[in-house]
Structure 1
């Protein structure tokens, strides 16, 4: 439940603090006083996208802070303590900072936490009843967890199917394009194969050519090195003998042993190098014919790179690509048929996942129908008939939609003896409001929420129906905290707590103010709600009567 709310520099609110309690809380005030602004600030805490335009003029940041109390179940699900601070800050650049218990958090985590605690109904949400694309959402909310598991698997399978289908369509398109360039590809394949290209060939060849260009220099330096190692004045054997001499005293000092080992090792290394230099000199020869062939090949490779604007290694890869493409052209029908079979298999898998989701939704739809009728009886619609029908496509063309296989229609009869018709066509404003209230009540109870916030969900309702709606809200508030922005005096009178919202002028600027009303203030506020413009004795007496009920 919501314990406290602090809003600063948000639209008409300069600095507002509110304390809340359990039960039914009514928030009332004239149109434009700022009730919707308070609702907007609460929606920010529930993860609504921030808008820098809502920052109060002249200020750099807006700030919303809520203190919430979790029940035992919510603590276990969210792994959070009993009391949590939720903060949201917005700056002029549109950046927003979110914190839970002073720890920066993500928008997804914020939504997870707040959707476990409660739910908000905004004024325009009732308009969703005109759009049947939202109806599946209402069904899914009966058991959101189970639906999400099946829906996620369906979406994965659907994604695989769409990828296979896209590949198949690309292949068909590519076939017609590739046939036109078949002769060109054949020419390129023949040409590149004729070069007998090898990976890294150009680099290896350039290295060999460079060595041959410097043949005389290499030979001279090798001979000089060998002569120095084979000089009579330089005796390699003396290095060995020096090592053997130190070996004889190596047991007396570790340093002697180390020097002995290094000298002996140096002897063998020098002797090995001397042999290798000799072998290299003996094997080093300049083949002018081979040198000329290498230069011709190098020039040929350079021309290939220039022609294809690729390195030799990239040309080799390109040859593989065009060979495959050429193969596809010559054997495209078999390749396309194979791809077509993959598409069919992927479709079948996604369809089967969709069927599982549809079966679950059918069960949930039956449950929702029963629950809605129970709720509507308490809202002065006890003669209602309500059915949820899953629409079928007579064309036989199965659509794997993002929401699943299903499209549904809500059929309702609100008057005894009248046939059922689509909800959007027959329900009046007040009837839609009550229907939405029924859905919100079902959702809140099914998900064991501890907070439900309703923004003018009772619009279009009056008379004895208003009294029934107020009673229903009062009963619901025994199960969870209920915050209601309302224009109905009956709802305000039945509330356990009543806050008045006003707009006043301070320092040449309009600001929103909220205060908890005492008994006399409640009488005055409710009487004003009952009056056209001015307070009357009758309105005051009516207000007192409503509060006594």
Structure 2
């Protein structure tokens, strides 16, 4: 329940703080006193968008803070899910900065407006006059029936499944779209892929081809250089081979004269081995290098094929060409396996669809069962609200398409007079009748929900006399299950509250300020008398006010 509300620097409010009680509270005040300002401030901590124009002093921040007692309302899981500290006395704070930015806090933890709105939906039903129009809204009508039917868990399950179902359907459309596009290019992609498969290029092949052709195109120069190198090695009496051998022998003879010469002997022996290996390899190379036009043509053709394919696929390396080949394999395979892919996705969709159908059936049957009970309870309440001839006809038809809450289509009709036709609420009900019907609906809902607080903003519009007493009785009954706060202009309703608050204006330092206070018994008499007869309070109005306060509700 709402335990307290403090407002600083908002509209006509400099600073005010007010505490609220459980049960049935009344708020009254002259037109223009600031009741709407109070509700506007409350709306901000319930997640409504902030407006810089609402700052009283433009260069100071506005702070609105509400304290809620929530220990009896099973909200711990919400706090855990949203990574918030759970406190039995939870404080919601909203700040509007002079820059126009706003901040929201739950128990001093910064939070988003979406989280704030989700929490406020579980704390307060703020019912303003225009919300009476919700009665004609199909979504609200379903909400009422589902509350009576106890469909909360089934609806959560259905909505989770529907989200998956829509995602899978979207994926199927995308797959089919891609396959249509792929099919149109399938023949060309297949040709490109076959071309690459036939070419059968290997990693690093380009370097091999380019090196081999470089060698074949300079074979005469290479053979000449190899021959010159060989002659230097084998030259009689002064060749490199004999000279190096003599050099090795000399060093070996020195090795017996110390460690230094021994190490040098080892190193020169190793050098001799390397030299002999190089000489042998050059001999083999010389023997293997021959001019061959056929070989040159073969490697040239292979390299040219590679260059042509690289140009066609707009790549620079053989590895990039191989990557293109893999992509083409995927595209071609996607088309060739299209039927299996689509079939698998449709089976997946069908499984989810079966679960949604099952949920829809459960929802339909529970709603069918709840509708007679709703009609019965509405009839009893509306009779007590001086609408004895009002009756409802609620048709529930199971459709074929999935909606956000099942497959049902709902037709909510009303007749306000005996023998008259059933019509939609918009067509047949007056403003006063709509207010009473909405009050009856809210009264029923409070028995099936765990909502802590409901605030009625002039739900008594368009009614007077005995109907006012009846409305007060309904709200008083509701207050046994939840905190009820009613803003009213009717003294008959105001007199039935357990607590009475007055919103009023004062002039201070050439400024008009809005404030609120709780009234004592004597102050209540004066307020009710003023509501009955105006500023010039007649003695009869005082007497009437006392009678209203003492009057028992039947």
If the TM-score is normalised by the length of the shorter chain, which range does it land in?
Answer: 0.7 to 0.9
1:503 aligns with 2:505: yes
Deviation at 1:401, TM superposition (A): 1.9
Distance 1:417 1:512, change over 3 A: same
Question: How does the TM-score come out when normalised to structure 1?
Answer: 0.74
1:506-536 superposed Cα distances (whole Å, 9 cap, x missing partner): 4454432212223343233223322367544
2:459 is matched with which residue?
Answer: 457
CA deviation string 1:393-440 (max 9, x = no partner): 6xxxx2222232122122233344545433332222112111111222
Q: Evaluate the alpha carbon distance shift between residue 74 and residue 324 of structure 1 in structure 2; reply closer, same or farther with a 3 A threshold.
A: closer
Q: Give the TM-score of the pair, scaled to structure 2.
A: 0.74
Q: Mean Cα displacement is larger for which, 4-13 or 93-102? A: 93-102
The number of residue pairs the alignment matches comes to: 493
1:301-340 alignment, distance < 5 Å: 301-306=309-314, 311-320=320-329, 322-324=331-333, 327=336
Residue 190 of structure 1: aligned partner: 191
Q: Residue 479 of structure 1: SS of its match in structure 2? A: coil
Is the CA contact (8 Å cut-off) linking 1:197 and 1:316 kept in structure 2? no
Partner Cα separation in structure 2 for residue 140 and residue 162 of structure 1:
27
Which of 1 and 2 has greater Rg? 2
Structure 1 position 28 matched with structure 2 position 28 = yes
Structure 2, unaligned stretches of length 5 or more?
80-85, 227-240, 260-266
Q: Which residue of 2 aligns with 1:16?
A: 16
1:163 aligns with 2:165: no
* Residue of structure 1 equivalent to 2:140: 134
Q: Mean Cα displacement is larger for which, 43-52 or 493-502? A: 43-52
Q: What are the residue-to-residue correspondences of 1:346-357 with 2, within 5 Å? A: 347=353, 349-357=355-363
User: CA separation in 1, counterparts of 2:371 and 2:546?
Assistant: 43
Q: CA distance change for structure 1 residues 138 and 57 in 2, over 3 Å: closer, same or farther?
A: farther
1:491 Cα offset (Å): 1.4
1:405 is paired with a residue whose SS is: strand
Task: Please give the secondary structure, in 2, of the residue aligned with 1:37.
Answer: helix
Q: In 2, are the aligned partners of 1:199 and 1:312 still within 8 Å (CA)? A: no
Cα distance between partner residues in 2 of 1:424 and 1:535: 40
Superposed CA RMSD = 4.5
Cα gap change, 1:308 to 1:137, in 2 (>3 Å): farther
Quick check: 1:34–1:502 contact (8 Å CA) kept in 2?
yes
Q: CA separation in 2, counterparts of 1:279 and 1:104?
A: 81
In the aligned structure 1, how far is the partner of 2:194 from the partner of 2:143?
60
Pairing 1:485–2:494 present: no
**Aligned ranges for residues 25-424 of structure 1 at < 5 Å?**
25-56=25-56, 58-74=58-74, 80-91=86-97, 95-107=101-113, 109-142=115-148, 143=150, 145-156=152-163, 158-160=165-167, 162-163=169-170, 166-167=173-174, 170=177, 175=180, 181=184, 185-196=186-197, 204-208=204-208, 289=296, 292=300, 295-306=303-314, 311-320=320-329, 322-324=331-333, 327=336, 347=353, 349-391=355-397, 398-424=400-426
Residue pair 1:147, 1:360 contacting (<8 A) in 2 also? no
Once residues 199 and 381 of structure 1 are traced to their aligned partners in structure 2, the CA distance between those partners, rounded to angstroms, is: 89
8 Å CA contact retained: 1:199, 1:316:
no
Q: Can you give the 5+ residue segments of structure 1 that lack an aligned partner in the other structure?
A: 221-226, 243-266
Q: Distance in 2 between matches of 1:448 and 1:318?
A: 57
